[in-house]
Amino acid sequence: MKKNFTLTVFEKASVCRHFENEVFKRVSNREINFPVYLSAGQEYAPATIAGIVERKKIKPLIFGQHRGHSIYLSFGGNIVKLIKELKGKKDGCTYGMGGSLSIHSNEINMFGHDGFMGSNACIGTGACFSSKKPTIIFIGDAALEEDYVLASLSWVSKKKLPILFVVDDNNYAVLTKKDDRRDWKAKELAKAFKITSFDLKDDPKKIYNNINKYLFKKPMLINIHTNRIFWHAGAGKDKEKIFDRYLQQKKLLGKRGEIIDKKIGKKIKLLWEKS
């Protein structure tokens, strides 16, 4: 029997959340002492998209930005290899050289980011144009403002490429909020390029219902509102009290949610200690 979609996504999100909490601890106590980009609070975007893609049995090309831990884990990246990567080991997923920023994995077709905000949009567009393979490009709400990202959107639309752009919209460019940076919305921008687009909360069912039918059948852009728990980089928390989709979904699942959360938390803690 097919597993309930909400449950599949929750399990993925739980892996991401516990993973990031373990990283946070290690950055705080300086066991990890290079820049890390945590995705806690934002895991429902990749977890949901990965859940949809898995159901369709598609293995897309994946181009992430920084905050890529949850993308890698949601799409089935080997967790031990990512732990080793963050410990700087040679048998890490990016041979201990990519760190948190440039997570790369041939196994899941994930291409490491170079640190240049939005460059993954151009590179992903080129890869899709030449291969015609289903492609997912994750960018932040600030990366969407880069001129070369706009040029990529234009080409994607002109060539009707099987691409899904996921704008992980946490409202911030480091510390500057969207309202202080621009007066347009991602959905309006995509519409101007004749790209089907949606502006959605990180609610898995809403994302599923909106993108499932036409995914990879035409270019699409989805702006997903998320809330970051941790700072732009490193170990620290923003002061504002935020809505936490993971905790909301856990509550929704009741006892089952609690059991999964505990079980996965324990497993990941152990993996971090052993790897």
Give contact residues for ligand TPP (rule: CB under 6 A): 67, 115-117, 140-143, 168, 170, 172-174, 232
CB of 127 to ligand TPP, least distance (A): 20
CB of 65 to ligand TPP, least distance (A): 6
**Helix, strand and coil in the chain, % to nearest 5:** 45, 15, 40
Helix (H, G, I), strand (E, B) or coil at 140: strand
Place of tokens 């909490």: 21
Nearer to ligand TPP among residue 140 and residue 219 (C-beta): 140
CA angle (245, 27, 120) in 5-degree steps:
65
CB of 155 to ligand TPP, least distance (A): 19
Report d(CA 213, CA 88) in Å as an integer: 41
Nearer to ligand TPP among residue 81 and residue 228 (C-beta): 228
CB of 60 to ligand TPP, least distance (A): 20
Nearer to ligand TPP among residue 180 and residue 273 (C-beta): 180
Q: Which residue is nearest to ligand TPP (CB)?
A: 140
CB of 165 to ligand TPP, least distance (A): 13
First to last CA, the chain: 34
Nearer to ligand TPP among residue 41 and residue 219 (C-beta): 41
Structure tokens at 11: 């399990």
Report d(CA 200, CA 208) in Å as an integer: 11
Nearer to ligand TPP among residue 61 and residue 117 (C-beta): 117
Residues in the chain: 275
